[in-house]
Amino acid sequence: MGLRKDFLWGGATAANQLEGGYAEDGRGLANVDVIPIGEDRGPIRNGDRKHLDFDDEHFYPAKEGIDHYHRYKEDIALFGEMGFKTYRLSIAWSRIFPKGDEEEPNEAGLKFYEDLFQECHKHGIEPLVTITHFDCPIHLIKEYGGWRNRKTIDFYENLTRTLFTRYKGLVKYWLTFNEINVILHAPFMGAGLVFEEGENKKQVIYQAAHHELLASALATKIAHEVDPDIQVGCMLAAGKYYPETPNPRDVLAAQQADRRNYFFIDVQSRGEYPAYALKELEREGIEIPFEEGDKELLKEHTVDFISFSYYSNRVASGDPESKDQAEGNVIRSVKNPYLKASEWGWQIDPLGLRITMNDIYDRYQKPLFIVENGLGAVDHPDENGYVEDDYRIDYLASHIEAMKDAVELDGVDLMGYTTWGCIDLVSAGTGEMKKRYGFIYVDRDNYGNGTLDRTPKKSFDWYKKVIETNGKDL
Ligand code: P53
């Protein structure tokens, strides 16, 4: 017993949060580039304020990221030193198709990732690739409205066919959309949606979601045609809702809140729209633009495995007056009085990981993959740049313990575990560098000052030992 012998230990990142090199080698602009740090981030990220270019007033952290574009060899060597079996990264769509709607890809972009994947294999690391991690080329947003337009499916189809064909033999594990349910909570960041005044946002969101779900099924179909060895996963921002009290009103609220997020995975994994969603959308007059063949496509090309991020479980209240909201996260929750919180107000709930794993496994009975988990914290390096991050080690150890229980005591089939932000990178939620998750310290502050030097933290050696012992020595 214990974890699989070939358990995929590793770390995870996303292109726009670490690459930088935003205009190099023909790369086009994307929504994620123009989301600034600071108080305007929220309304822009949510699609409530149209902002499709840079201006002089704001700082845009994605422009330089942590300069991984030029330092990926050094970074991957450090991952190799920790013994990573896998490295989860994402492709920047606008490196491959700078505008999004071209017929022919940008060779320089394709070559960059080819070199990067080869570098991974040199270190015995299997890449796990997210096709879209919140990014959408700006041109597709300006010209077509991003995912609200059905044409975007064709552009995504072209992108995925290009990727699967070019990287055949180099990449075995693919994820179609990062945290697909984030479209509900941050629609510009999640799907390139900008709202017009007075329009029905929910209509736009579910229409765009339908297109993403079709695109995901189509990508799964193409992947299996190109190479039957490829495994395709969906990706959920997970975190079960607990009812605030045993009052049935709260229990129902928790169930409904869970379903709003599970909806996407229900379609990607079971291959059809669940009844509760159809009923709700019908009640609210929202139309899903089904066309001929859509139902069959969804039904026939479901995912091979279910991946998810886990930072915390959540709490729902059926009381409309309830105001006790936990801070900081894009996905709202009532505060849980039994839990402590991070410096950013994210509540810390290791046992909740076991509960969530059981919930998802019960629901889908497919292999699971935890592709994000970790603690965002302020680090204090000493004069040599070394960080003693025992708080991070404690967080990760307690979550790995709970994850092992889900496997060993409850029988969940788990493929692997990749910690979020294995090297310090830009926060998706806030745009800060100060919110660090890494085993490797990067000398850079919120506004781009610093040498960009990399220094392993205390957790670096700790994680190396965890991997060496396949999770026994925590
Ligand atoms: P940061 C919402 C809820 C849970 C995770 O987040 C989320 C989001 C969207 O912000 O994001 C994921 O950087 C996401 C990563 C992100 C990571 O969690 O706000 O997939 O891109 O960096 C951590 O602390």
Taken in order of first residue, the domains within the chain and their CATH numbers are 8-320+347-468 (3.20.20.80)
* Cβ partners under 8 Å of residue 84, min gap 6: 9, 10, 11, 123, 125, 422, 467
Ligand 1 centroid distance, CA of 421 (Å):
10
State which amino acid sits at residue 199: E
- Ligand 1, atom nearest to 239 Cα: 4
Q: How far apart are the CA of 301 and the centre of ligand 1, in A?
A: 27
- Residue 149: name the closest of 52, 48, 289 by CA: 289
Task: Write down the catalytic residue from 64, 244, 372, 432.
Answer: 372
Which of 17, 261, 372, 379 to mutate for ligand 1's pocket (most ligand atoms within 8 Å of CB)?
A: 372
- 164: tokens are 């699967």
Ligand 1, atom nearest to 430 Cα = 19
Mean per-residue pLDDT of the chain: 96
Q: Which atom of ligand 1 is nearest to the CA of 344?
A: 24
ipTM score: 0.97
Query: What is the distance in A from the centroid of ligand 1 to the CA of 429?
Result: 6
Residue with tokens 């690739």: 129
Closest residue to atom 19 of ligand 1, CA basis? 429
Going from the Cα of 295 to the center of ligand 1, the distance in angstroms, rounded, reads 31
Give the Å distance between the CA of 131 and the centre of ligand 1: 16
Residue whose pair of structure tokens reads 């806030």 in the numeric block: 430
Of 370, 418, 420, 433, which is best to mutate to test ligand 1, by the most ligand atoms within 8 angstroms of its C-beta? 420
Atom of ligand 1 nearest to the CA of 14: 21
Residue among 18, 131, 234, 330 whose CB has most ligand 1 atoms within 8 A, to mutate: 330
Which segments in the chain show pLDDT lower than 70? 1, 323-330
Element holding 406 (H helix, E strand): helix 390-408
CA dist., res. 446 & res. 434, Å (int): 6
Nearest CA to ligand 1 atom 22: 428
Task: Report residues whose beta carbon is within 6 angstroms of any ligand 1 atom.
Answer: 14, 17, 178-179, 182, 237, 309, 311, 329-331, 372, 376, 420, 427-430, 435
For residues 205 and 148, the answer to whether their CB atoms sit within 8 Å is no
Using CA positions, which residue lies closest to atom 16 of ligand 1? 428
**Which residue's CA lies nearest to atom 4 of ligand 1?**
237
The verdict on whether 114 is a catalytic residue reads no
CA–centroid distance, residue 368 to ligand 1 (Å): 19
* pLDDT for the residue 321: 77
Which residue lies with its CA nearest to atom 21 of ligand 1?
428
- Structure tokens of 465? 């030992």
Rounded distance from Cα 428 to ligand 1 centre (Å): 5
Counting other chains too, the contacts that 384-392 makes at CB distance below 8 Å and 24 or more residues apart are 384/455, 385/441, 385/443, 385/453, 385/455, 386/441, 386/455, 386/457, 386/458, 387/441, 387/455, 387/457, 387/458, 388/457, 388/458, 389/457, 389/458, 389/459, 390/458, 392/437, 392/457, 392/459
Nearest ligand 1 atom, CA 429? 19
Indicate which residue's Cα is closest to atom 17 of ligand 1: 428
310-316-319 Cα angle (round to 5)? 170
C-alpha of residue 259 to centroid of ligand 1, in Å? 20
- In whole angstroms, give the CA distance from residue 36 to residue 447: 11
- Contact in structure between 389 and 436 (CB atoms under 8 Å): no
DSSP-assigned letters across all residues of 110-122 = HHHHHHHHHHHHH
pLDDT at residue 332, as a whole number: 75
Question: Looking at residue 328, what is its pLDDT?
Answer: 47
Pocket test for ligand 1, best of 41, 311, 349 (most atoms within 8 A of CB): 311
Closest C-alpha residue for ligand 1 atom 10 = 429
